[in-house]
Every structure is written in C-alpha cells, then in structure tokens.
Amino acid sequence: MARKLPRKDVVIVGLGWTGSILAYELAKQGLDVVAIERGPWRDTATDFPPGYAQDELRYGVRLDLFLRPQQETLTVRNNMTQTALPIRRFSGFLPGNGVGGAGVHWNGQTWRFLPSDFNLRSHLEERYGADKIPADMTIQDWPVTYDELEPYYDRFEKLAGISGKAGNLNGVKQAGGNPFEGWRSSEYPTPPLKQNYGSALFAEAATKLGYKPFPRPSGNISEAYTNPLGVTMGQCTYCGFCERFGCGNYAKASPQVCVLPALMRLPNFSVQTESEVTRVNLDSTGKRATGVTYVDTSGEEWEQPADIVLVCAFSLFNVRLMLLSGIGKPYDPVTGKGVVGRNYAYQTTSGVSMILKDKALNSFIATGSGGMMIDEFNGDNFDHKDLGFFGGGYMGSGQTGARPITTMPVPKGTPKWGAQWKKAAAETYNSGYGISTHGSSYSYRDCYLDLDPTYKDHLGRPLMRMTFDFKDNEIKMSQFLTDRLAEIAKALDPVEMTASPRKGPWNSTIYQTTHNTGGTVMGADPETSVVNRYCQSWDVSNVFVPGGASVFPQNHGYNPTGTVGALAYWTADAIKNRYLKNPGPLV
Amino acid sequence: MMHGSRLSPLSRRSLLISTAALLVAGTAARARTITQGMPWEPGTASPPLQVRAGPWMFFTPDEAATVEAAVDRLIPPDESGPGGKDAGCAVYIDRQLAGPYGVGAGLYLHPPFMPGAASQGYQSPDMPAVRYRAGLAAIADYVKSSFAGKSFHDLAAADQDKVLSGLETGAIKPKGINGAGFFALLLQNTQEGFFADPVYGGNRDMAGWKMVGFPGARYDYRDWVERHNEKYPLPPVSIMGRSDWTVKE
Ligand SMILES: Cc1cc2nc3c(=O)[nH]c(=O)nc-3n(C[C@H](O)[C@H](O)[C@H](O)COP(=O)(O)OP(=O)(O)OC[C@H]3O[C@@H](n4cnc5c(N)ncnc54)[C@H](O)[C@@H]3O)c2cc1C
Ligand code: SF4
C-alpha cells in the first residue's frame, strides 16, 4: 500500500526544462508545488565542475549523466512485422535523468519553428494541392500559430540568455541574421558567439554560392548575462566539451543555471529526488486526476495527492506515463483510431565530411551550439513543386568539438588500426572537417509508440515500444539537402570528401539526435490529438503535458527545445490566467 | 612503471572502494526531499579516481601478455611516439574490466535475449568482462593450434597482425566466440585507452593527445577562437595536470 502524503496544489513529474519552468511560474503565483524527479539532484559544483567536467570517457563515452537503461528503456523496431527488442545500452538517442533533465547535457541550439510550420498541412495543401501529400503521412496543423507563440519564444530565449542575431525584427529584415525566420519582437538577449575557423570557412563558402549564412542561435552564451529571474550566467569559453557534458562555466543554458537558483528559494516549492512516478491516479469517473504514485529508491511506494498534475517527464516518458495511467485512448495503427502514441517522429540528419588542404582547424575549439548556418532549404522556404518530397532543414558548420576518442578522422581507405592508421590519424586530426544538415521528420500512420508485449522495467511494468523508420519522403529530402551541402563543401576545395545522406533503416545504435517527438500530440480535434491547444488532456482536464516535444504533431527542420520552452510558458500562462480562475476544460 | 605519488600505498584500496561505490550507484543514492535553497554540501563532489600502477586487477598474467602485445600492434610504437603498450592501453582496459564497465553496470539485462536486426543493437547477455575472458581464451587456443603451441605474445609482429586481421575480417573464427565482435571491442577499448584522460591509466604522459595535437583538459580557448589557421600552441594538460608537475618517487 502506498503511503499517502499531504495534498499539494500542483505535482510535477520530472524536473527538467519544462518542469522547472512550470514549477517556477506556478510557485511564484503562490501555489504549493512539488516536483517528483526520477534521478538525483545535480549541480555544477558537485557533478561537473571545471576541474573534471572535460572528461570524454566518463561523460561522452560512458554517458555518466544519462538515464541508465536498467532504470528505464524502450524496445525498438523499424516496422510492424519485426519483433521489437530492448535498447540495452542507449546510443541512438540519449534521454536525461536527474534534476535538470536533458537540459544539463544538451547542446543548446535554440530555434523557433517557421510560421508556416505551424499550419503545415493547410499550407502544403494550399500551395501544392491536397493530393500531393502522401496518403500515409499524418501531418496536421498545430492548434497554435506562430504569432500566438512569439511572446513565449521571447520569454524562453530571455530566460536562457540565447546568443544570436535577429534576421527579422517586427517584420523588418536585419542584415547578418536569418532572413527566413519568423518575426521577432526583440533582438537576442546576447550577441552571437565568435566563430571558430571551420565555421568561418563555411560562411565564406556559402556566401560565395549566394546563400545568407548566419550564426546559429545558441544556449552557450557569448557574454555574462543576468536573466529576468535574477540569475547570472557566465561566458562560454569554447571548451569543446558541451553536448553530453554539463558546463562547468555556468555558460550553458540549463535548469541548473537559469531556473533552480531562483526556484529553490521559493518556500512553497520542493523537489523529491530519486523517486519515479509510476502512474497518474484517476478518480472513479476516470475524468479527474487525484495525484500521482511514486516509488523511491528503497522501493517504498508513496501517493502524492494534488489538484493539478503536470507531466514533464521528457517527450518519450510523457507518452509512456499517459499509456500506463490510462489517460487518453491508445493509438491503433491498424484502425488508425486512438491517439496516445500516435505521430511519433524524429529528426532526419546527414553530413559531409572532408579533409581540408593546409589548414589548422583547431576544431577542439568549439561550442555545442555555435557555428554558421543557412536556412534556404528549410521547411517550405524553397519551392517543392517538382521535388517529390516535402520538408527540409537547416545546414552548416556545426562541428561541436574534436574530442579524440570519438573524433579521429582518417583519409578514405585507411586501415582501422596499425602503423598506417596511426600515421594517418596524426596527420589528419587537425584538418578533418564536418558539416551537417538537420532536417524535418514528418509523421506517418505506422510510426508510433505503444506498450511492449514482452519486456518489462525493473518495477515489472511494460516498456514502451517504438516503431519507426525513415520514409521515402525523408530519404529524398535528405538526399536533396545533402547534395546542396556537398556543393558548398566542394567550394572549400577539400583534399577529399564523403557525403552521407540519411538512408534507412533507422538505426538505434547510431547517434543522430535526442529529438523524439509526438505521441501526446496537441491539436484542435480530440480524435487526432491527446491534448488541446493549452497542452491540457482532452480526457482528464487537470492533467497537462506542458510543452514536452511529445505534443509536436510532427517534427520540423529545427531542434525542438526553443518550441518546448515557448510551449512551457504558454501553458503556464493558460493555467495561471484561465484554469485557476475556472478549473475545467479550457477548450 | 607509472608515476606513483606519495599516496600510492592507499591507492588500491581507495580504487576498490570507489569501484564498489560506482557499482551500486543509483541504489546507494537515496531519495530525498530538497527545499528552501540549493542543497550544496562540501565533500560531495565526485572526481574520477586515478588509476595507479600495481598488479593486474582483471587479467591473468597470460591474458595481460596477450593484450599488451595486441594493443601494441593495434597502435604500434613509431617515431611519433609510444605504442599502445607503453601508453598504458592494457592497464586502462584491465581497470575498466575490473570496474562497472566490465559487468555492464546500468545496462538493461532482462531476458529474453533474442538476436535481432543490426539496427536494434547489441542483444547478448555477455558483458565486456565475460567477453574478454572468453575471447582471450579462444584466441589462445587458436594460436596454440595454428602456431605450433605458441602464445600470441610469442608470435612475430607479422603473425600477430595476421591473427588480428583474420579476427577483424572473420577469416579466423576461434571456437565459441564471435571473433569479429571481440576484435571490434578490443580495438574500441584500445583507442579509448590511448585517447582518454590519463587519469584512467592509458594515454600515459598524454602520448595520444600529443600525437594528434589535442590540448586535453584546458577548457578555455577564448583567446584562440578567432586566431584562424594558427595551430594552437600550448601542450596538453590532463585532469590531473601534467606528469612533470607531480611528485615522483
Ligand atoms: C545530447 C543531447 C543534445 C541535445 N541538444 C539539443 C539542442 O541543441 N537543441 C535542442 O533544441 N534540444 C536539444 N536536446 C533536447 C533537449 O535536451 C530536450 O528537448 C529538453 O531537455 C526537453 O525538456 P523536457 O522538460 O521535456 O525533458 P527533460 O529536460 O529531459 O526533463 C525530463 C525530466 O523528467 C524526469 N522523469 C522522467 N520520467 C520520470 C518519472 N516517471 N518520474 C519522475 N521523473 C521522471 C527525467 O529524469 C528528467 O529529469 C538535446 C538532448 C540531448 C540528450
Ligand atoms: S562550450 Fe561553452 S557552454 Fe558548452 S560546456 Fe563549454 S563553456 Fe560551457
């Protein structure tokens, strides 16, 4: 029997990016808030101080800060005829664990989606005709517009101190910024990072070909900055140990750096660490949540009653918790009915690697999210009429370091070991160079999440099963983007180059991104969405999924967290300004 | 021998303790309620523990001789610097196998174990320590029967290379193991040892980093980010500093 704790106004499942934003906003409002976090407390001084944060083996290879599969993992397969098998060691994507969530060890690439991404289906139907969209492609419009979200993007960027250069201020194009971005109500909080040699070379080549390169919006910040919560961030040192690592310099936007110092001071907030929420509890009608049940490290079960339940457990685990709690109808890919688990999507990335002539690149001087990018081939920024695919992505010089266990380029045809390998590695290390594309992943009828019939977690509950592959549309898109990238690469006159467009099948062992989206999609119609436009469950109105990427109807050509953060603020406002005044369905 | 500091008599014990602590990490940490401020406490940081010289912790003497010979072929010594053996790659692998990595701590090890598509990842219950024990035994048997009773480390370099590339390509199939899979594991671990921070026992004197020009743990390049096409001038440092800064016995 679970031991019952005193009631709270709000219980938050998971204290990562979305959880910490909601916790601060609602506790500041005077509500009694408790967050339950599966992993340990983490802070800069203890877990990744500058004395040993730069340890490639520990953090980059042995994945010290990440979720251990022993605690929770998924099963994966490429299609419905395969038997799904468990990910026994994470490598294709890397979920976070512990206070700060994946915000601790993300790169910090902080984008907004394009205005036309938000009405994707109607936009494509209008421009190209409804018959051009493949029958099994289940893309749909978002229930919010770019204009509605703009102020919330702005708030997240100010919270995180994002470094960048605006390309469109209130409709007026700005030189040096991204000419394709939606309008921005203000300039980035901090100026762009400096560019290392590789990124400067890319910008030069792209400009020569007529493109308009711009600095990638970055959560590794260019100068000290004090955010609206009163927390001061430090300056990025281009240390080259960013993604997969915590930042010892307080320079990477994270819940630790941007939110917790202010949040932890609020007397009406507490966090319960090393405690895994096992379900959201419902009353006998099934229409109201009464709180959550969690298990701590001693195996003891606790019940935390609360009036509002916020599911902030990261995209994939939001979906699993909804499935395990019986909130919303599980999706059935055969009938196409049901919603929870529907429209799982990912990201379609690719790259071109090169060896440059007579260059000292010093690529170890790098950041997780700096670099120079172009956006000519993202979303519908280019005419898709005769291309045979939809979607696109940004591309550019995004090499985020040259950590030698995982980055050791050698010329084509070099043996993998021995005297020749050694010589080649020594000669090539400082002139090996990589540029990449980062593209959309649209949703399909048979790409989805459900509970696995065979494999269980350490508490005996079914693992979640992921059925996913790259489809023809995405493979063609990746080929097209990679061809454009290779043209820019050629302009750099490399000694040799290898273009690697994304090919199927999706391989769960090759790291691509941790941009898993969909499964608790937001929408205007309960038949095709799990939550409404305020990220509120259609079925259980005191449960919200405030902005985890599980609410994305499909994934676009940018990294998700700018939009995740914006939706977190958007939901916080809906709860504060609408729900608290009149608890019940907001739509 | 590796450089030992004045603390070395204690080292083995503290290493063992830390290994044990790492093994139970996740269960040792206790659920707690944190409120009213950041819960910082002195002495709670967890720096890596330095691997020190001393007897093998995982390998038997025969296994160690084979691994030292193999890592020296995978990364042979040449005019640019030491090979895998003198760089400490075997010591690195030994300490890794004796610790949490060897037993696959934290991995998902529930049955059923079924073979799957390559895209589904490693699906065997055998963790690195088990794979090394079995792999090295199978290689020893293979070498003994193919090279007139000899051991791998007694072979001429060219023959050692033949065995290694036979494993790599699958041309040599020692009984009871997946030779290509074991080779890939050995190569991966050897390169880890060559390029990981020296604190883990390999990359001795930062030989791997010096070879390629990686500055290691410096962590601050603000003054050099815009000095384009100028080779970074400073030598590497490790998490422990540099070997010439530390006390020698
Ligand atoms: C290596 C890496 C690089 C990345 N780089 C970028 C990037 O450059 N740009 C970008 O936009 N995005 C990036 N991301 C993604 C980004 O980190 C996530 O989008 C973001 O952190 C999501 O916020 P969240 O609140 O949904 O989840 P998280 O921040 O992960 O927080 C979820 C929290 O919930 C906890 N939790 C889960 N289940 C339970 C449970 N049952 N009970 C209690 N607690 C639970 C988890 O432990 C975790 O702390 C990256 C991710 C990784 C791993
Ligand atoms: S690159 Fe910058 S933000 Fe990233 S870890 Fe290093 S100092 Fe921190």
Distance between CA atoms of B63 and A402, rounded to whole angstroms?
33
Domain positions in chain A = 3-579
Inter-chain contact B211–A426, Cβ cutoff 8 Å?
A: yes
Q: What's the whole-model pTM score? A: 0.95
> Model confidence over A352-408: pLDDT tens digits?
999 999 999 999 999 999 999 999 999 999 999 999 999 999 999 988 999 999 999
Domain positions in chain B = 61-108+121-212
What Cα–Cα distance (Å) separates residue A418 from each residue in A496, B70, B157? 22, 10, 11
Ligand nearest to the backbone CA of B219: 2
Q: How far is A507 from chain B (nearest CA, A)?
A: 4
Nearest to A83 by CA among B124, B126, B117, B123: B117
A 284-313 near B (Cβ less than 8 A): 296-298
pLDDT of residue A363: 97
Inform me whether the pLDDT recorded for A37 exceeds 80.
yes
C-alpha A146 to ligand 2 mean position (Å): 30
Percent of chain A with pLDDT over 90: 99
pLDDT of residue B246: 66
**Residue located nearest, by CA, to atom 2 of ligand 2:** A236
Whats the size of chain A, residue-wise?
587
Structure token digits, residue B213: 């020009």
Inter-chain contact A83–B116, Cβ cutoff 8 Å?
A: yes
Q: What are phi and psi of B145, to 5 degrees?
A: -80, -25
Q: Which residues of B touch A346 (CB under 8 A)?
A: none
Q: Are A9 and A222 in contact (CB under 8 A)?
A: no
What's the 3-state SS for A77-118? Answer: ECCCCCCCEECCCCCCCCCECCCCHHHCCCCCECCCCCHHHC
Question: Judging by beta carbons within 10 Å of its beta carbon (0-12, 13-18, 19+), is residue B13 exposed, middle or buried?
Answer: exposed
Q: Are B109 and B125 in contact (CB under 8 A)?
A: yes
Nearest to B196 by CA among A48, A405, A54: A405
Looking at the partner chain, which of B26, B34, B106 has a beta carbon nearest the beta carbon of A271? B34
Structure token digits, residue A168: 């469109």
Question: Judging by beta carbons within 10 Å of its beta carbon (0-12, 13-18, 19+), is residue B241 exposed, middle or buried?
Answer: exposed
Inter-chain contact A274–B73, Cβ cutoff 8 Å?
A: no
The arithmetic mean of pLDDT across residues A138-166, rounded, is 98
DSSP A167: S
CB atoms within 10 A of CB A577: 9
Q: Which amino acid is at A112?
A: R
The arithmetic mean of pLDDT across residues A333-337, rounded, is 97
| Range A102-138 burial, b when 16+ CB lie within 10 A, else e | bbbbbbbbbbbbbbbbbbbbebbeeeeeeeebeeebb
| Range A481-497 burial, b when 16+ CB lie within 10 A, else e | bbebbbebbebbebeeb
C-alpha A260 to ligand 1 mean position (Å): 16
Question: Judging by beta carbons within 10 Å of its beta carbon (0-12, 13-18, 19+), is residue A226 exposed, middle or buried?
Answer: exposed
Looking at the partner chain, which of A235, A421, A426 has a beta carbon nearest the beta carbon of B212? A426
Inter-chain contact A46–B46, Cβ cutoff 8 Å?
A: yes
Looking at the partner chain, which of B38, B48, B224 has a beta carbon nearest the beta carbon of A365? B224
A 4-63 near B (Cβ less than 8 A): 40-41, 43, 45-47, 49-58, 61-62
Is domain A3-579 given the CATH code 3.50.50.60 in the classification? yes
ipTM of the complex model? 0.96
pLDDT of residue B10: 32
Q: Which residues of B touch A417 (CB under 8 A)?
A: 73-75, 164, 168, 187, 190
Inter-chain contact A50–B46, Cβ cutoff 8 Å?
A: no
Inter-chain contact B212–A408, Cβ cutoff 8 Å?
A: yes
C-alpha A236 to ligand 2 mean position (Å): 5
Nearest to B239 by CA among B208, B194, B206: B206
Q: Are A110 and A217 in contact (CB under 8 A)?
A: yes
pLDDT of residue B248: 58
> Where are the alpha helices (H) located in A4-56, listed in sequence order?
17-28, 44-47
First to last CA, chain A: 37
Instruction: Say if strands A462-467 and A74-77 run parallel, antiparallel, or are unpaired.
Output: parallel
Of A561, A564, A569, A571, best ligand 1 pocket probe by most atoms within 8 Å of the beta carbon = A561
Q: What angle do CA B129, B130, B135 make, to 5 degrees?
A: 100
Q: Which residues of A touch B69 (CB under 8 A)?
A: none
Q: Which atom of ligand 2 is nearest to the CA of B220?
A: 7
Of A71, A314, A564, best ligand 1 pocket probe by most atoms within 8 Å of the beta carbon = A314
Return the beta strands (E) in B177-236 as ranges. none
pLDDT of residue B9: 33
Q: Which residues of B touch A425 (CB under 8 A)?
A: 211-212
Ligand nearest to the backbone CA of A220: 2
Q: Which atom of ligand 1 is nearest to the CA of A109?
A: 8
Chain B interface includes A425 (CB < 8 A): yes
Q: Are A488 and A373 in contact (CB under 8 A)?
A: no
Q: What angle do CA A571, A576, A577 make, to 5 degrees?
A: 100
Whats the size of chain B, residue-wise?
249
> Model confidence over A567-577: pLDDT tens digits?
999 999 999 99
Return the beta strands (E) in A146-274 as ranges. 168-169, 172-173, 214-215, 225-226, 232-233, 269-273
C-alpha A110 to ligand 2 mean position (Å): 15
Walking along chain B (249 residues) 10 residues at a time, the average pLDDT comes out as 32 36 46 90 89 95 98 97 98 98 98 97 97 98 97 98 98 96 98 98 97 98 98 96 70
Structure token digits, residue A538: 């259609």
Q: Are B217 and B239 in contact (CB under 8 A)?
A: yes
The arithmetic mean of pLDDT across residues A265-287, rounded, is 98
